[in-house]
Amino acid sequence: MGIKTRFTETFGIEHPIAQGGMQWVGKAELVAPVANAGALGFLTALTQPTPEDLAKEIARTKEMTDKPFGVNLTILPAITPPPYAEYRQAIIEGGIKIVETAGYKPQEHIDHFKEHGIKIIHKCTAVRHALSAERMGADAISIDGFECAGHPGEDDIPGLVLIPAAANKVKVPMLASGGIGDARGLVAALALGADGVNMGTRFCVTKEAPIHESFKRQMVENDERATNLIFRTLHNTARVMKNAVSDEVVAIERKGGAKFEDVQHLVAGKRGQQAMADGDTDGGIWSAGTVQGIIDDIPTVHELIDRMVSEAEAIIKSRLEGMVS
């Protein structure tokens, strides 16, 4: 059996499930087990400090799996941008055939990858951005609803509306992202017109995720209300885990007139990394979605994927078919 979709067929993957690129988390020890379990995992390029480090991480992943996996390249507006062309070169020379792009104006990146026969999944938070990426040549779209961890955009459209709204217009295969953590989410996404799902937070709460155990336990304990939206007033909204630091950022923004400098010391990446290393869940900013409310265990990646697929088949066959008279 199994669930075949345009996504599995286009990308040569067994199951319609992707583990999206996540800063500090998309490393070989998570991506290889995802690939081995028949889903699509992504290394996160900018987690690696240099393009040379990315080349080594690609090689390390290939030692751990012979199945397809991809690399995420997130394009952020920056005063001194990372050497994107060199990261692209490392991806191309590493023999990677699937790239997840996200962020700002991906055209030059898409063009360069396409010249080398690499397929692109562009991750976005609005139908208009999805259509723009499709015109640029993206082979698939990952549409990210308001429930998601990280940057949900400024439109605040949850998946229940965003996924079918995108499916009405997007012609290439589409992954649904944001708020998905189990078989019910997978079946719902397929019913809404997606060809598969993309999960971040759920993959963070697995045995193999390279994250301190205390963060995994915290996300299991948390309910669906345990997130904060920070940078709302700066029009760069990010959904993060509710903790002492994100509460403080929200309080500063609520006073009004906050500038990035006012919260910079709280949200610094170094601080977040240190908190992760120490296992201090109140020590820094940590991306997590509302899906925390339906995460109640820490399985292996293989257990998670197998369970999702077999339960999804059962929901489609017995529950849904059984309702049709």
94-110 residue pLDDT tens: 999 999 999 988 999 99
Q: Which two tokens stand for residue 13?
A: 């993957």
DSSP state of 204: H
Give the Cα separation of 186 and 42 in Å (integer): 19
CATH 3.90.550.10 fits 6-210+296-323, yes or no: no
Q: What percent of the chain has pLDDT over 70?
A: 100
Q: What residue segments make up the domains of the chain, in order of their start?
A: 6-210+296-323, 227-287
From CA 29, how far away is CA 205, in angstroms rounded?
A: 14
Mean pLDDT of 277-286: 95
Average model confidence (pLDDT) for the chain? 96
Average pLDDT over residues 147-158: 96
Dihedral pair phi/psi, residue 307, rounded to 5°: -65, -45
Look up residue 282 and give its DSSP letter: T
For residue 304, the SS3 value is: helix
Report d(CA 205, CA 213) in Å as an integer.
9
Tell me the average pLDDT across 117-144: 97
Task: Give the chain's length.
Answer: 325
pLDDT of residue 77: 79
The yes-or-no verdict on residue 259 having pLDDT over 70 is yes
CA nearest neighbour of 120 among 169, 71, 87: 71
CB 11 within 8 A of CB 68: yes
pLDDT at 104: 84
Residue 325 above 90 pLDDT?
no
Interatomic CA distance for residues 112 and 95, integer angstroms: 14
pLDDT score for 292: 98
In terms of pLDDT, which residue wins out, 182 or 318? 182
The answer to whether 123 and 142 have CB atoms below 8 angstroms apart is: yes
φ/ψ of 240, rounded to 5, equals -130, 170
User: Is residue 129 pLDDT above 80, yes or no?
Assistant: yes
pTM check: above 0.85: yes
Using alpha carbons, select from 146, 141, 291 the residue that is nearest to residue 226.
291
Instruction: Report, as an integer, the average pLDDT of 218-223.
Output: 98
Q: How far apart are CA 43 and CA 34, in angstroms?
A: 11
Instruction: Of 100, 90, 15, 89, give the one whose Cα is nearest residue 54.
Output: 90
pLDDT at 1: 65
> Of 20, 24, 93, 106, which is closest to residue 56 (Cα–Cα)?
93
